[in-house]
Chain A
Amino acid sequence: MTLLDINKLTVEFPTRRKVFRAVDAASLTVEPGQIHGLVGESGAGKSTIGAAVLGLLERPGHITGGDIVFKGDTISGLNADAMRKLRGKKISMIFQDPLTSLNPLFTVKEQLVETIQAHHDVSDAEATQRARDLIDRVGIPDPDTRLDQYPHQFSGGMRQRVVIALALCSEPDVIIADEPTTALDVSVQAQILDLIKELARERQVGVILVTHDMGVIAETTDVVTVMYAGEVVESGPTEQVMGRPEHPYTKSLIAAVPRPTLKLHRFPQISYGGRETRFAIEDLARNWPKVENDPSKPLYEIKGITKRFLQKRGLLPWNREYFTAVDQVSFDIKPGEVFGVVGESGSGKSTVARMIAGLYQVDEGEVIFDGKTVSNLSDKATQEAYRQDIQMIFQDPFSSLNPRMRVDEIVAEPIRHHKLMEGNAIQKRVEDLLDQVGLGASAALKYPHEFSGGQRQRISIARALATQPRFLICDEPTSALDVSIQAQILNILKDLQEHLGLTMLFISHDLPVVRQMCDRVAVMKAGKIAEIQDTESLFANPQTEYTRELLDLMPKLDDLSTENLE
């Protein structure tokens, strides 16, 4: 019997100007023990479907058409009280970010016991016993001590296990998992997905897995539904949809996924829906100072840099404890190359970037740029000159732009700071830059919140190019973006390297992206470099056990259609 039948569901959000239709006549069904993938880009309405099933739509959103049938009973349109009884008991939810979905002020046990007692009439002792069993079941070692700990004492992956345990408290029939692994490292992601798969089989729970990650879909789901702008564009068994997509949107979406096994010159861009993809690299190159790259001499020599962070303060030096974030890291970066640094979170890759940028002091070792030492500079003039040569692009396009500054002020700031131009010339240059990154000069007078994530990242790029730097540090520049936007941004970065001769440090945890972008790659583990190799030989022939493990964890995308690829 079908567990959940969503039939022509329409959800609308009335706004002052017009009614926004977030979900438009979407239908899908979930069987017991089945994992149903719901895939699409941000704004496609996939999370809204999940919220509608649980009756948790944010106001003023409401269901305007279709119905949701759970085990034969229509549950859409139930009143709040009846919906609450259903929520958690029959249908549970797992949220995206395990860091924020647990209440920080209560122990894991308190949260579990409270939820168990909300659904079952059991004594404290029995609820505690059940909580223990659940913690044990989701694979958290040492459940007895862990139960009495607070969420902040758990790592990201462990917290997501707690979240899953909470969702299982009431033995639900359907679990809606909204991007359950997006915030996690690849190795942890694989474990959590395995756990969800196992639970679905073992307890015959139907799972709706909402995600934008095609790799997760291909590895985990039985059936997949592809959404675009609130509509279902394609639906069917995962192998069929991924391997032989029929709808043009699905085709272009799959084509934009970076492949771990195949190096492409450029990313295929999603052509569906007519999006802005222009990047006027030729215009930009015309005014760019000619850089002579001497390939025999490295641009950067990183010599044994080490960074320690104080972990425990103490009045006496020997009472202090330090955490070594980066330990004796050395490498060279050749002019004109894209040098990749990969590793899991906490491996020290961002710290390395910050030391190179001069944002952190170096505790040991030296950073040499173009023959000159640039680490721990105390001389203001040299420091300023160095800063003009390097620029950074950050991960989060939402927090890396000052929301109170206009876009033209943001882009002009580095020019003004380094006194590169004056008066009207600055305005002209800013407009040119914005035009070249594909935003158009009219973007100058707007504020960052008026732009989407991809457009903001273009603003970041324009800002980084404003001083005409020789070196760019890109710290996970696309991990917050949709796959189609990611392809556009990566193509822009590739153009910068090819046409302007820019050297880049590219930091990422996403191996397929690294394979597409980088010439050479350093793999970092626990603050140390595990190995450095040319990208192609690293993927073909990893030298260390750790790299091999990382490569094994990459989602296998062999089943994905290769249509549209070059």
Chain B
Amino acid sequence: MLAYIIRRVFQSVIVLLVVGLVAFSMFRFVGDPIDNMLGQERTQADIDRLRTELGLDQPFPVQYFKFLQGAVEGNFGVSYRQGRPVSTIIAERAPATLELALVSGFFAITLGIALGVFTAIRRNGIAANTIMTLSLIGVSLPTFLIGILLIYIFSVELDLLPSFGRGDTVQIGGWSTGFLTASGLKALILPSITLGLYQMTLIMRLVRSEMLEVLRADYVRFARARGLAERAINFRHALKNTLVPVITVTGLQLGSIIAFAIITETVFQWPGVGLLFINAIQFVDIPVMAAYLMLISVMFVGINLIVDLLYFAIDPRLRVDGRTA
């Protein structure tokens, strides 16, 4: 088991290196940061001086190597736009995104699994069919449109919930949380639904189809024949067997909740890392972009590792293979 984890961590490092390499090779196409940094009255000498100062005159593998050198020491460089260390900027912004992702992930998983089981058990019921039809809307509507619709209904028309920002936050150590104030919690509702709706419908549909498959299995029939209660069969025997494929997809989806919070953050002006990234692209703020991309890939890789370890926890058959494989 330990050997497996070590091997996976080793693989993860390679993945991160490749992601960084690809990112760096593309930065030159984003634009020239110098244009934005210097004013109209710049001279060629200014340009050259700044270019050398930032190390932008060097070939991208060298730039990449320098970035890695710094990253190992925890130094991601200084933002071109804000002139502050990137690690500080991200540390300020990350709590907002992580809290948003956490809430919407929780919303997507609990509601997705519950509705999935429900629609599978009552597969011909009116309620289940209505949910299935509505879920199509969740899958097919683009995120920004859902966000705008929600803002229109709940903020503009009903005036119940805020349409932008995080509300009041409380500082705990270096972490600013919106969980502890009423306005912070209220502000979380609309962005979380916007961000989690697609994932929720996806999880729901997946749970439903897996569940329908499992309910036909012999061991479920045998459980019925033994006279076990319907609830025990559905929620113990059947649900646990649907989890392996569901976890795979859910894990990937959680990664994308964080990574693609960008759109939601833009719509709701949520002060998270996604918004930071968008601004960084507009300004060609290479250190911020690089750090952000690395952060996202660390998350993806980490979530995937957790997903793989969850397989072992759920399915005893893999544990044996894990020892031999």
B227 touches A150 (CB 8 A): no
B317 touches A152 (CB 8 A): yes
Q: In the assembly, what is the distance between CA of A533 and CA of B314, in Å?
A: 50
On chain A, the residues within 8 Å of B240 by CB distance are 103, 105-106
User: Which chain A residue has the least Cβ–Cβ distance from B223?
Assistant: A103
A312 touches B226 (CB 8 A): no
Whole-angstrom distance between the Cβ of B219 and the nearest chain A Cβ: 4
Q: In the assembly, what is the distance between CA of A140 and CA of B217, in Å?
A: 25
A166 touches B227 (CB 8 A): no
A170 touches B218 (CB 8 A): no
Q: In the assembly, what is the distance between CA of A370 and CA of B317, in Å?
A: 45
Whole-angstrom distance between the Cβ of B135 and the nearest chain A Cβ: 25
CB neighbors of A among B184-227 (8 A): 217-219, 221-227
User: Which chain A residue has the least Cβ–Cβ distance from B229?
Assistant: A118
B316 touches A102 (CB 8 A): no
Q: Is B8's CB within 8 Å of the partner chain A?
A: no
One digit per residue, 1 when the CB lies within 8 angstroms of any chain A CB and 0 when it does not, for chain B 301-322 equals 0000000000000111100100
Q: In the assembly, what is the distance between CA of A167 and CA of B320, in Å?
A: 28
Whole-angstrom distance between the Cβ of A183 and the nearest chain B Cβ: 11
On chain A, the residues within 8 Å of B217 by CB distance are 100
B218 touches A101 (CB 8 A): yes
User: Which chain A residue has the least Cβ–Cβ distance from B238?
Assistant: A103
Q: Is A104's CB within 8 Å of the partner chain B?
A: yes
User: Which chain B residue has the least Cβ–Cβ distance from A166?
Assistant: B226
Q: In the assembly, what is the distance between CA of A166 and CA of B221, in Å?
A: 13
Q: Is A93's CB within 8 Å of the partner chain B?
A: yes
Q: In the assembly, what is the distance between CA of A480 and CA of B219, in Å?
A: 22
Report the stretch among A81-89, A288-296, A451-459 that lies at the interface: A81-89
User: Which chain B residue has the least Cβ–Cβ distance from A85?
Assistant: B227
Q: In the assembly, what is the distance between CA of A522 and CA of B27, in Å?
A: 69
A104 touches B232 (CB 8 A): no
On chain B, the residues within 8 Å of A100 by CB distance are 217-219
B227 touches A95 (CB 8 A): no
On chain B, the residues within 8 Å of A163 by CB distance are 222
Q: Is B237's CB within 8 Å of the partner chain A?
A: yes
A97 touches B218 (CB 8 A): yes
A103 touches B241 (CB 8 A): yes
On chain B, the residues within 8 Å of A88 by CB distance are 225-228
B224 touches A56 (CB 8 A): yes
Q: Is B324's CB within 8 Å of the partner chain A?
A: yes
Q: Is B158's CB within 8 Å of the partner chain A?
A: no
Q: In the assembly, what is the distance between CA of A150 and CA of B240, in Å?
A: 15
B316 touches A313 (CB 8 A): no
Q: Is A169's CB within 8 Å of the partner chain B?
A: yes
Contact among A89, A102, A311 for B222, CB-based, below 8 A: A102
One digit per residue, 1 when the CB lies within 8 angstroms of any chain B CB and 0 when it does not, for chain A 144-183 equals 0000001011000000000100110110000000000000
A166 touches B241 (CB 8 A): no
Interface residues on A, range: 35 or more
One digit per residue, 1 when the CB lies within 8 angstroms of any chain A CB and 0 when it does not, for chain B 24-48 equals 0000000000000000000000000
Contact among A54, A119, A312 for B225, CB-based, below 8 A: A54
Q: In the assembly, what is the distance between CA of A100 and CA of B316, in Å?
A: 15
A95 touches B218 (CB 8 A): yes
Contact among B219, B226, B241, B316 for A87, CB-based, below 8 A: B226
One digit per residue, 1 when the CB lies within 8 angstroms of any chain B CB and 0 when it does not, for chain A 109-136 equals 0000011001100000000000000000
User: Which chain B residue has the least Cβ–Cβ distance from A59?
Assistant: B124
Q: In the assembly, what is the distance between CA of A92 and CA of B228, in Å?
A: 12
Given contacts A114-B228, A312-B324, A313-B324, contact A104 B316 (CB under 8 A): yes
CB neighbors of A among B238-257 (8 A): 240-241
On chain A, the residues within 8 Å of B126 by CB distance are none
Given contacts A103-B241, A105-B240, A152-B317, contact A87 B225 (CB under 8 A): yes
User: Which chain B residue has the least Cβ–Cβ distance from A118?
Assistant: B228
One digit per residue, 1 when the CB lies within 8 angstroms of any chain B CB and 0 when it does not, for chain A 429-461 equals 000000000000000000000000000000000
Contact among A54, A150, A311 for B316, CB-based, below 8 A: A150
Given contacts A95-B222, A152-B320, A313-B325, contact A104 B315 (CB under 8 A): yes
On chain A, the residues within 8 Å of B314 by CB distance are 105
On chain A, the residues within 8 Å of B224 by CB distance are 56, 84, 87
Given contacts A100-B217, A105-B316, contact A118 B227 (CB under 8 A): yes
Q: Point out which of B217, B225, B232 has the most chain A C-beta atoms below 10 A from its C-beta.
A: B225
Q: In the assembly, what is the distance between CA of A101 and CA of B217, in Å?
A: 8
Q: In the assembly, what is the distance between CA of A85 and CA of B224, in Å?
A: 11
Whole-angstrom distance between the Cβ of A439 and the nearest chain B Cβ: 31
User: Which chain A residue has the least Cβ–Cβ distance from B325?
Assistant: A313
B222 touches A101 (CB 8 A): yes
On chain B, the residues within 8 Å of A169 by CB distance are 226
On chain A, the residues within 8 Å of B227 by CB distance are 84-89, 115, 118-119, 170
On chain A, the residues within 8 Å of B225 by CB distance are 54, 56, 87-88, 92-93, 95
A118 touches B232 (CB 8 A): yes
Q: In the assembly, what is the distance between CA of A84 and CA of B228, in Å?
A: 8
Whole-angstrom distance between the Cβ of B66 and the nearest chain A Cβ: 34
Whole-angstrom distance between the Cβ of B128 and the nearest chain A Cβ: 16
Whole-angstrom distance between the Cβ of A148 and the nearest chain B Cβ: 11
Whole-angstrom distance between the Cβ of A165 and the nearest chain B Cβ: 11
User: Which chain A residue has the least Cβ–Cβ distance from B224?
Assistant: A56
B222 touches A105 (CB 8 A): no
On chain A, the residues within 8 Å of B226 by CB distance are 87-88, 92-93, 115, 118, 166-167, 169-170
One digit per residue, 1 when the CB lies within 8 angstroms of any chain B CB and 0 when it does not, for chain A 17-53 equals 0000000000000000000000000000000000000
Whole-angstrom distance between the Cβ of A308 and the nearest chain B Cβ: 15
On chain B, the residues within 8 Å of A107 by CB distance are 316
CB neighbors of A among B266-325 (8 A): 314-317, 320, 324-325
CB neighbors of B among A70-99 (8 A): 84-89, 92-93, 95, 97
On chain A, the residues within 8 Å of B236 by CB distance are 106, 114
A105 touches B218 (CB 8 A): no
Q: Point out which of A87, A105, A150, A170 has the most chain B C-beta atoms below 10 A from its C-beta.
A: A105
On chain A, the residues within 8 Å of B232 by CB distance are 114, 118
Whole-angstrom distance between the Cβ of A419 and the nearest chain B Cβ: 41
On chain A, the residues within 8 Å of B230 by CB distance are 84
On chain B, the residues within 8 Å of A167 by CB distance are 226
Q: In the assembly, what is the distance between CA of A170 and CA of B227, in Å?
A: 9
On chain B, the residues within 8 Å of A106 by CB distance are 236-237, 240
CB neighbors of A among B82-133 (8 A): none
On chain B, the residues within 8 Å of A150 by CB distance are 316-317
Q: In the assembly, what is the distance between CA of A565 and CA of B149, in Å?
A: 81
On chain B, the residues within 8 Å of A95 by CB distance are 218, 221-222, 225
User: Which chain A residue has the least Cβ–Cβ distance from B315?
Assistant: A105
User: Which chain A residue has the least Cβ–Cβ distance from B241?
Assistant: A105
A103-B223, A103-B241, A105-B240 known; 6 new pairs, CB 8 Å cut-off, are A56-B224, A84-B224, A87-B226, A95-B225, A104-B317, A106-B236
19 residue pairs bridging A and B, Cβ less than 8 Å apart:
A84-B224, A84-B227, A88-B225, A88-B228, A92-B225, A95-B222, A95-B225, A97-B218, A100-B218, A100-B219, A101-B222, A103-B219, A103-B240, A103-B241, A104-B315, A104-B316, A105-B241, A118-B228, A150-B316
The 9 A-B residue pairs with the shortest CB-CB distance in the complex, in nearest-first order: A88-B227, A100-B218, A93-B225, A88-B226, A87-B227, A150-B316, A101-B222, A103-B219, A101-B218
Please list the residues of chain B having a beta carbon within 8 angstroms of any beta carbon in chain A.
Answer: 217-219, 221-230, 232, 236-237, 240-241, 314-317, 320, 324-325
